[in-house]
Amino acid sequence: MTNAPLWESGAPTTITRPDDNQVCYPPVASPARKILPYGPFFIDGIDPIECTRRLRCFAGIVACHRGTDDQLISVLRDAESDSAALQRAFAMFEELPPLPRRKIISVYARLMRPRRAS
């Protein structure tokens, strides 16, 4: 087992589909923690514009809970266009203390849930 930060394990793979759309596959689970990406970090098959919107939403929630100077916010903004930054953001978020992490996830889940039919 290594003591290196989780975000140094490598960037997710990016491929270009025949229709010229790029797809970025999410980071693989950490061998030490076996955590798979979720929330804004799970981008498999999601439109890049929607991924950007999700990451910005998540960055806003992090800012409300952790303060606007938190380093995670700038890494989340970088992740909008950089696959390696997405990996780092995921690892940095996983290293937050459990209570703030749960609060951020619960607010994000509440905001991103599908609307109910009227």
Within 13 Å and on the Cβ side, how many CA atoms surround 49?
1
Please, what is the average pLDDT of the chain?
Answer: 78
Judged against a pLDDT cut of 80, whether residue 4 lies above it is answered with no
Residue 78 pLDDT more than 80?
Answer: yes
The whole-model pTM stands at: 0.66
List pLDDT tens digits, range 30-77: 555 555 567 787 777 778 888 889 999 999 999 999 999 999 999 999
**∠ Cα 12 47 106 (to 5°):** 80
Q: Give the pLDDT mean for 9-14.
A: 52
pLDDT value at residue 41: 77
Burial level of 8, CB count in 10 A (0-12/13-18/19+)? Answer: exposed
